[in-house]
Amino acid sequence: MIQIAHLQLQNNIILAPMAGISDLPYRMIMKSFGPALVYTEMVSANGLIRAGKRTRQLLRSAPEERPLGIQLFGDDPAVLAEATAMVQGDGELVDLNLGCPVTKVVRSGAGSAMLRDPLKVGRAVAAMRRASALPLTVKIRSGWDSQSVNFLEVGRIAEAEGADALILHPRTRAQGFGGKADWGQIRELKKALNLPVIGSGDVFTAQDAQAMLEQTGCDGVMIGRGGYGNPWLIRDCLALQQGESLPAPGAAQRLEVALRHLQWFQEIFGPRKTVRDMRKHLCWYSRGLAGAAGFRTRINHAETLEEMNAATREFFSAAADEQQGAA
Ligand SMILES: Cc1cc2nc3c(=O)[nH]c(=O)nc-3n(C[C@H](O)[C@H](O)[C@H](O)COP(=O)(O)O)c2cc1C
């Protein structure tokens, strides 16, 4: 269990904020497997205060996913503070994104670009702290590049200015997602701060989560890419903490979750976006099953929800029959 300011979390497994992925239906699916906290995709502070309708849409939530962390990005402390005040009623926690490596975001001075200006980080955290009583987390990378690794400095500044927890993805901006996340840096940050530290990076199995907790002393583990098509990872992480190991999901279980995901996505976003955005999720659910390559082709060519539904039912049902036959 972790305590972030007054927010008591039920366990130490947390769903990562992921642009283009951690939308409401995804969070609801993942939440049903037990993480203590889920985060929104990153939300533009500038977009929010301009009352952008599309930006506000990212704040749509449902009671069953709470507590919800709302992640903001921006480059202007005053704008970040105003956005923080605006989202007070939309979640239980606010996070500042200081890690996004995407060129468009970095050019605007936000995301990982802020790591190059620790004083500005301090002003942003202080301003957000003053703007709201919600718990405040700050998510960082190791630094801008290998010449400017400054996660300890940024972490200390964030702590001094009122952050309630730090999240570290221990790669520099220049690294993108290459190489391995340097968990040693999570350990260093945990040692340097009095705040809870959450580790993020390369947790693909329950054993990885356990190893990160043990090797770094971090308080919580974030699940990002490892959760693609595999919400069972969260259940497995929690089970392993109780000394249990659960069987991998069969095709029938995958079908049930994939259909639920498809259904919720469609109810929330409508058919057009569903056909476009659910392709990747359905392909991820099929990973490792016989005939997955053919299924991917079919899904990527599906143009209607009906086609998508039919392809999903057919593929996973056939895989389930095959598994039953083999058993
Ligand atoms: C597609 C994608 C989108 C992401 N979007 C965000 C984001 O909006 N905000 C953020 O702080 N991190 C974002 N991240 C980084 C993740 O939160 C996480 O720190 C990183 O992927 C490392 O963890 P993993 O190895 O478990 O994926 C994103 C990562 C991916 C792959």
pLDDT band at 326 (very low <50, low <70, confident <90, very high): confident
Give the model confidence (pLDDT) of 2-51 as tens digits.
Answer: 999 999 999 999 999 999 999 999 999 999 999 999 999 999 999 999 98
pLDDT band at 55 (very low <50, low <70, confident <90, very high): confident
Residues 74 and 143 in one domain: yes
Residues 8 and 104 in one domain: yes
Pocket of ligand 1 from Cβ distances under 6 Å: 16-21, 41-42, 71, 97, 99-100, 139, 169, 200-203, 224-226
- Measure 20 CA to ligand 1 centroid, in angstroms: 10
Residues 228 and 313 in one domain: no
Q: Which atom of ligand 1 is nearest to the CA of 225?
A: 27
Q: Which residues contact 24 (CB under 8 A, 6 or more apart)?
A: 60, 61, 62, 65, 264, 268
Q: What is the pLDDT, as a whole number, of residue 304?
A: 97
**In this model, does residue 53 exceed pLDDT 90?**
no
**CB count in 10 Å sphere of residue 217:** 14
Residues 56 and 179 in one domain: yes
pLDDT band at 92 (very low <50, low <70, confident <90, very high): very high
- Residue range 213-235: average pLDDT? 98
Ligand 1 pocket test, candidate residues 18, 73, 139, most atoms within 8 A of CB? 18
- Measure 15 CA to ligand 1 centroid, in angstroms: 10
Whether residue 232 is contained in a domain is answered as yes
Q: Which of 211, 241, 271 is the last residue of a domain?
A: 241
Q: What is the pLDDT, as a whole number, of residue 85?
A: 96
Residues 266 and 225 in one domain: no
Whether residue 99 is contained in a domain is answered as yes
- Residue range 213-228: average pLDDT? 98
**In this model, does residue 52 exceed pLDDT 90?**
no
Q: What is the pLDDT, as a whole number, of residue 1?
A: 84
pLDDT band at 190 (very low <50, low <70, confident <90, very high): very high
Please state, in angstroms and rounded to a whole number, the distance separating the CA atoms of residues 12 and 5: 15
Q: Which residues contact 213 (CB under 8 A, 6 or more apart)?
A: 12, 199, 221
Residues 183 and 157 in one domain: yes
- Measure 200 CA to ligand 1 centroid, in angstroms: 8
Whether residue 102 is contained in a domain is answered as yes
**In this model, does residue 240 exceed pLDDT 80?**
yes
Give the model confidence (pLDDT) of 278-312 as tens digits.
Answer: 999 999 999 999 999 999 999 999 999 999 999 99
Whether residue 246 is contained in a domain is answered as no
Residues 162 and 228 in one domain: yes
Q: What is the CATH number of the domain that holds 298?
A: 1.10.1200.80
Q: What is the pLDDT, as a whole number, of residue 131?
A: 98
Whether residue 146 is contained in a domain is answered as yes
Residues 125 and 167 in one domain: yes
Residues 214 and 262 in one domain: no
Q: Which of 241, 268, 296 is the last residue of a domain?
A: 241
Q: Which atom of ligand 1 is nearest to the CA of 204?
A: 26
* Total domain count, the chain: 2
Residues marked as catalytic: 100
Q: Which of 214, 241, 268 is the last residue of a domain?
A: 241
Mean pLDDT across the chain? 97
pLDDT band at 327 (very low <50, low <70, confident <90, very high): confident
Q: What is the CATH number of the domain that holds 151?
A: 3.20.20.70
- Residue range 212-235: average pLDDT? 98
- Measure 175 CA to ligand 1 centroid, in angstroms: 13
Q: What is the pLDDT, as a whole number, of residue 141?
A: 98
Q: What is the pLDDT, as a whole number, of residue 178?
A: 96
- Residue range 155-181: average pLDDT? 97
Whether residue 168 is contained in a domain is answered as yes
**Token pair belonging to 109:** 């001075």
Residues 122 and 255 in one domain: no
Q: What is the pLDDT, as a whole number, of residue 51?
A: 83
Residues 119 and 262 in one domain: no
Buried b (16+ CB within 10 A) or exposed e, 94-124: bbbbbbbbbeebbebebbbbbbbebebbbbb
Query: Which residues of the chain form beta strands (DSSP E)?
Result: 3-4, 7-8, 13-15, 37-44, 68-73, 93-98, 136-141, 165-169, 197-200, 220-223
Domain that holds residue 178: 3-241
- Stretch (H or E) spanning 213: helix 206-216
Residues 168 and 203 in one domain: yes
